[in-house]
Structure 1
């Protein structure tokens, strides 16, 4: 796709190619504190210094722009999950799938509490389902969860027969907890208390998933 030439407006914020990336960066800035409602094609164009028509050369409509912003944020969530995993690694060896599953859950909740605006954008419209698409096309946090659940089967902690659909109780637990902490009865608690409750919720779902019945 051709890049947009230098801006023709008075704003001096955009002077070279890769307009699509510049638009996404401004979209990220808007949504960080304003959530998805903060994004309009006109406002993103104004901040970059191009006309709205230039935006439509890269994104079919506002929904397409927001979806692309969501993908960027989902990658950040996956990076947060990996960071939690690295913090808990403790040595040079790859941690067990069980400990990685815990890191995935706590990383998800931690991101939600730290970046509520981005969290709303990232998971308000994710629709790709495991088995329906190539794993590379899954939202990055869901792909990380799918990978670690598959590794649990490989390591013998999760029976293969229990693997199909296991991502949904796991994701529902951490997503529901995040909403309770952001907008529900847990929102008034100090962050440390929220994270302690998050650890208990994550440990409970792991125990329910992996403990023998």
Structure 2
């Protein structure tokens, strides 16, 4: 009696050079979107990409290396969300009005991203290198080639150029504005405002952005 031959393995995906790296980052982004930074697990990313775990080490030496690539991509997504708001502001003709709208646009893009892409937002600001001091990384940027922190600086520089923000008050202003908006974002996604109605969140966000501008 003949013995049955073992079942042949299912088809394995094949990748051209660089495609596997992109597939792993894409899988990591899906994990981050679903569960935040702690969900970005190398073994699960390889499973979703359809390859053996050892295959990942051709592109990422460790889990941390994959995480940093995913984190860079979430910062790029945040930059894109901010730029969408900036484009609306930059269409205004009056220089002072445009500069004020640019700063508010950065804040709206930031707060909106925190609420619509909470997993990515948490991943973007999880443990990692200090983004102000690391070398430029195109993955962290959108069309303007600026990361989220640089987009905030860009808006503040526009305020100085328009005469809205005195030049002597410009140094360090990005940290003051950033900390205020980031604080509200955390109150909304993780704190006592997480169950507040959207209208209340929107009103608080608008009021905070006006407060930031007036404070600067």
TM-score, normalised on structure 1? Answer: 0.83
- 1:182 deviation in Å? 0.8
1:155 correspondence with 2:162: yes
Instruction: Say if 1:11 and 1:49, in contact at 8 Å, map to a contact too.
Output: no
SS where residue 156 of structure 1 aligns? coil
Determine the structure 2 residue equivalent to 1:123.
125
Instruction: Say if 1:135 and 1:143, in contact at 8 Å, map to a contact too.
Output: no
1:70 correspondence with 2:75: no
Determine the structure 1 residue equivalent to 2:15.
16
SS where residue 21 of structure 1 aligns? helix
Instruction: Say if 2:78 and 2:113, in contact at 8 Å, map to a contact too.
Output: yes
Separation in 2, partners of 1:149, 1:91: 16
- 1:87 deviation in Å? 4.0
1:114 correspondence with 2:116: yes
- Unaligned residue ranges in structure 2 (runs of 5+): 1-8, 142-146
Determine the structure 2 residue equivalent to 1:4.
none
Separation in 1, partners of 2:14, 2:93: 45
- 1:9-62: CA deviation from partner (whole Å, max 9, x where unpaired): 7465x3222111000111111110211111111111111111222212211211
1:63-212 aligned at under 5 Å gives the runs 63-88=64-89, 96-125=98-127, 127-128=129-130, 130=132, 132=133, 140-209=147-216
Separation in 1, partners of 2:162, 2:115: 32
Separation in 1, partners of 2:116, 2:135: 30
- 1:126 deviation in Å? 5.2
Report the CA distance shift for 1:173/1:11 in structure 2 as closer, same or farther (over 3 A). farther
Separation in 1, partners of 2:136, 2:161: 18
Instruction: Say if 2:89 and 2:98, in contact at 8 Å, map to a contact too.
Output: no
- Unaligned residue ranges in structure 1 (runs of 5+): 1-8
Determine the structure 2 residue equivalent to 1:6.
none
- 1:123 deviation in Å? 1.1
Separation in 1, partners of 2:153, 2:92: 24
Q: Give 1 or 2 for the bigger CA radius of gyration.
A: 2
Instruction: Say if 1:110 and 1:195, in contact at 8 Å, map to a contact too.
Output: no
Separation in 2, partners of 1:135, 1:202: 28
Separation in 1, partners of 2:75, 2:180: 18
Separation in 1, partners of 2:157, 2:39: 38
CA RMSD of aligned residues (A): 2.4
Which stretch shows the higher mean deviation, 137-146 or 107-116? 137-146
Which runs of 4 or more aligned residues in structure 1 lie more than 6 Å from their structure 2 counterparts after TM superposition? 92-95, 135-139
Alignment length, in residue pairs? Answer: 199
Which stretch shows the higher mean deviation, 37-46 or 148-157? 148-157
- 1:75 deviation in Å? 1.2
Instruction: Say if 1:136 and 1:143, in contact at 8 Å, map to a contact too.
Output: no
